[in-house]
Every structure is written in structure tokens, then in C-alpha cells.
């Protein structure tokens, strides 16, 4: 007989014993659910690149937001497809467009729900880039006032939080100032502090028709090879006034999440992006993995890495499973 004083399996003997020593939990309160709003009424069409997710007109987006709220989800993030695109991306701050209309309608019908506006230009510019373009160059400083208009238009519509995903330099400071000057000092900023130039955004770009017309986003999004740069970006965004910092994508970047948690005493979010979602859905549809178990394990790993907030297309399913 072996003589073991430490037998870790003692604490794995029953569900109750395992629950007692469980270090990390996943709760419905951790998740934000993204919504894709489109022009029209009565539109609810499944997005081919994101099975189980929908293009929703404003009225249908309100229904979906109600459902999310009833399941205990605390917030939704609004992405939109506009009715027109131009060089500046001016439909991004047009109060008549689906995003602003959806924000206002959801705030009215589901007042307890946190409504987050995605601040960027790529769905709205004819170039499909996240900033203004001149001769195939991104004009960083000329883009900032446009982003300011987007954030203020969303705040006017009723958004309590804006999430700038454009990756321009100086955008957090610019948005903070724009919001404050417009009287919105209570509107918070969730910064995509470390947003990597990632192939995992593919299904999202299909969903919102935002693939760049030329080139790629590597001159503004981060190099997946870099870790230290991420710490500098987070520090910068905190100095500029970010309330919540976000790492995106999530799954391939959990080392960055852990590092962010250990180095910064700020609310930390991850974006469980479209490619991560689509891979799981495809594998599950083929019967290769158990969707529920895979999703719960994946989101738990994001919590374990140190994130509190998870923006995820799985949110409604997870909320049901956790009940």
C-alpha cells in the first residue's frame, strides 16, 4: 500500500464537494449580448456566417433585448447595417439609422438593460476601413472628430456605454472630451484596448458587410505576436479615461487577459468573437463536440484567465443553460 498524506481526489468525490472548492464561476451577469440591427420592420433573418444569430429590424431587436433581459442578461451591444455608405461614414452618426433608432427603442422598452453602442466607421465607410482614407492611408487625427460624433449620437439616443473598436490613436481621450462637452459625463467608455488584427473576425465582417475594400487592418489593429504592447495600450487607454478595458479576440489571447488582470485594477472584458463562435457552432453541428459543454468550458476559461465581462453570441443559450 502506498502511504499518501495528500489525496487531492478527496475533494472531487461528490458534486457538492466539487462545488465547495470551485474557484471560478460563470454567471449570467457576466455576459453582454451583441445585436445586429438592420433597416426595415419585421425583419428577423438568420445570419449565414453566424448560425443562431440574426439580422434584426428595430422592432425585432427590441423583442430580442426583452428576451435577453428576461433571461437575466445585463447588457446588449448594438452593431448596425446602415442604409447608405460614404467616404466619411456619416451614416454612423445619423439619428435616423438603425443603430440610433434601436438604442432609443430598447432604452424605452427595456429601461433596466445596459445598452452599449459600438463606435466605429467600418460598416459605414465606402472603403470598409475604420477611419477616413486618403490615397489608401488612414487619416488618424481627421478620424477622431467623426468618432466623437458617433459616440455623442449614440449617447443622445440613450446609450449608457460606448465601445470604440476603431483603434485610432487618441480616440479614448477624444471621446471622453466629446461626451463630456455634450453633457454626457455619465456615459461610460468600454475600450477595445487590445484589439488584435485577427482572422477570427471573418464571420462578423460577412455579417455586417465591413470587409475592407483594399488592404487590411494591420496599420491600426495590433500584431498577434505582441504581448508587451498590449500592456502599453491598456495603460494608455486608462490614462485617457477608459472605464472598462477589453481584450479581443478572447480565446487565443487568454495569456494577455491574465496579464491585464494581474497588472491593472480595472474592470476587464473579453470579446468572444465571431470566428470563435462560428468554429464551435460548426463543430457542434457536425456532432464533433457537445455544444453546451464546450461553450460553458470556453467561457469559464475566460473567467479563469481574469475577465469579468464576456461579450458573446452564446449569451442567450448560456443564460438558459445556467438556469
Interacting residues toward Zn ion by CB under 5 A: 120, 122, 130
Which of 26, 28, 32, 120 touches ligand PBG (CB under 6 A)? 120
Pairing verdict, β 50-56 and 44-47 = antiparallel
- C-beta of 130 vs 316, nearer to Zn ion: 130
Query: Roughly what angle, to the nearest 10 degrees, separates helices 228-240 and 254-263?
Result: 50
- C-beta of 101 vs 210, nearer to ligand PBG: 210
- What gap in Å lies between CA 291 and CA 289, rounded to an integer? 6
- What gap in Å lies between CA 248 and CA 191, rounded to an integer? 10
Angstrom CA distances, 184 to 6, 19, 23, 140, 176, stand at: 57, 43, 38, 24, 9
Q: Which of 149, 195, 281, 303 is catalytic?
A: 195
Binding segment for ligand PBG (CB under 6 A), chosen from 24-32, 114-122, 138-146, 147-155, is 114-122
- 8-state DSSP, 110: S
Pairing verdict, β 161-164 and 137-138 = unpaired
DSSP 204-249: HHHHHT---SSS-STTTSBPTT-SHHHHHHHHHHHHHT-SEEEEES
- C-beta of 149 vs 205, nearer to ligand PBG: 205
- Cis? peptide before 249, omega within 30° of 0: yes
Rule CB under 6 A: say whether 100 interacts with ligand PBG: no
- Is 120 annotated as a binding-site member? yes
Rule CB under 6 A: say whether 143 interacts with ligand PBG: no
Angstrom CA distances, 240 to 234, 245, 263, stand at: 10, 12, 17
Which of 60, 94, 118, 259 touches ligand PBG (CB under 6 A)? 118
- C-beta of 51 vs 215, nearer to Zn ion: 215
- Is 217 annotated as a binding-site member? yes
Q: How far is the CB of 186 from ligand PBG (least distance, A)?
A: 24
| Whether 195 is catalytic | yes
Bridge-partner residues for 118, per DSSP?
Answer: 163
Maximal C-alpha separation, the chain: 77
| Whether 292 is catalytic | no
- Is 274 annotated as a binding-site member? yes
Rule CB under 6 A: say whether 273 interacts with ligand PBG: yes
Q: Among the residues of the chain, which ranges form H helices?
A: 15-20, 58-70, 98-109, 140-157, 171-181, 202-208, 228-240, 254-263, 274-285, 291-305, 315-322
Interface of this chain with ligand PBG, residues 184 to 213, rule: CB under 6 A: 201, 204-205, 210
- C-beta of 109 vs 212, nearer to ligand PBG: 212
Helix (H, G, I), strand (E, B) or coil at 171: helix
Binding segment for ligand PBG (CB under 6 A), chosen from 37-45, 87-95, 102-110, 117-125, is 117-125
- Is 122 annotated as a binding-site member? yes
Residue 237 binds which of ligand PBG, Zn ion, none (CB < 5-8 A, kind-dependent): none
Residue 118 binds which of Zn ion, ligand PBG, none (CB < 5-8 A, kind-dependent): ligand PBG
Binding segment for ligand PBG (CB under 6 A), chosen from 64-72, 118-126, 177-185, 293-301, is 118-126
Q: How far is the CB of 39 from ligand PBG (least distance, A)?
A: 19
User: Which positions are catalytic?
Assistant: 195, 248
Residues binding ligand PBG (CB under 6 A): 118, 120, 122, 130, 165, 201, 204-205, 210, 217, 273-274
Binding-site residues from annotation for 5-aminolevulinate: 205, 217, 274, 313
- Binding-site residue numbers are 120, 122, 130, 205, 217, 274, 313
Amino acid at each position: 500500500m502506498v502511504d499518501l498524506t495528500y489525496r487531492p481526489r478527496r475533494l472531487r468525490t461528490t458534486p457538492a464537494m466539487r462545488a465547495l472548492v470551485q474557484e471560478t464561476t460563470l454567471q449570467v451577469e457576466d455576459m453582454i449580448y451583441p445585436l445586429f440591427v438592420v433597416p426595415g420592420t419585421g425583419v428577423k433573418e438568420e445570419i449565414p456566417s453566424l448560425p443562431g444569430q440574426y439580422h434584426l429590424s428595430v422592432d425585432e431587436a427590441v423583442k430580442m433585448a426583452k428576451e435577453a433581459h428576461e433571461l437575466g442578461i445585463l447588457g446588449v451591444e448594438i452593431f448596425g447595417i446602415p442604409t447608405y455608405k460614404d467616404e466619411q461614414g456619416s451614416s454612423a452618426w445619423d439619428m435616423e439609422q438603425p443603430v440610433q433608432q434601436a438604442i432609443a427603442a430598447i432604452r424605452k422598452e427595456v429601461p433596466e438593460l445596459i445598452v452599449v453602442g459600438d463606435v466605429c466607421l467600418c460598416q459605414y465607410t465606402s472603403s470598409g476601413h475604420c477611419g477616413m482614407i486618403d490615397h489608401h492611408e488612414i487619416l488618424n487625427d481627421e478620424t477622431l472628430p467623426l468618432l466623437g460624433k458617433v459616440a455623442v449620437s449614440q449617447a443622445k439616443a440613450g446609450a449608457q456605454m460606448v465601445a470604440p473598436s476603431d483603434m485610432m490613436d487618441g480616440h479614448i481621450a477624444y471621446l471622453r472630451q466629446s461626451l463630456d462637452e455634450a453633457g454626457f459625463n455619465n456615459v461610460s467608455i468600454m475600450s477595445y484596448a487590445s484589439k488584435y488584427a485577427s482572422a477570427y473576425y471573418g464571420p462578423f465582417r460577412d455579417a455586417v458587410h465591413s470587409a475592407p475594400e483594399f488592404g487590411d487592418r494591420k496599420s491600426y489593429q495590433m500584431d498577434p505576436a505582441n504581448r508587451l504592447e498590449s500592456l502599453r495600450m491598456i495603460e494608455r487607454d486608462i490614462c485617457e479615461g477608459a472605464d472598462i478595458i477589453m481584450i479581443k479576440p478572447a480565446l487565443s489571447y487568454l495569456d494577455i487577459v491574465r496579464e491585464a488582470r494581474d497588472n491593472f485594477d480595472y474592470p476587464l472584458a473579453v470579446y468572444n468573437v465571431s470566428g470563435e463562435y462560428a468554429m464551435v457552432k460548426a463543430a457542434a453541428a457536425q456532432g464533433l463536440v457537445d455544444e453546451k459543454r464546450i461553450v460553458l468550458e470556453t467561457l469559464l476559461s475566460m473567467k479563469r484567465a481574469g475577465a469579468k465581462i464576456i461579450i458573446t453570441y452564446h449569451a442567450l443559450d448560456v443564460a438558459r443553460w445556467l438556469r
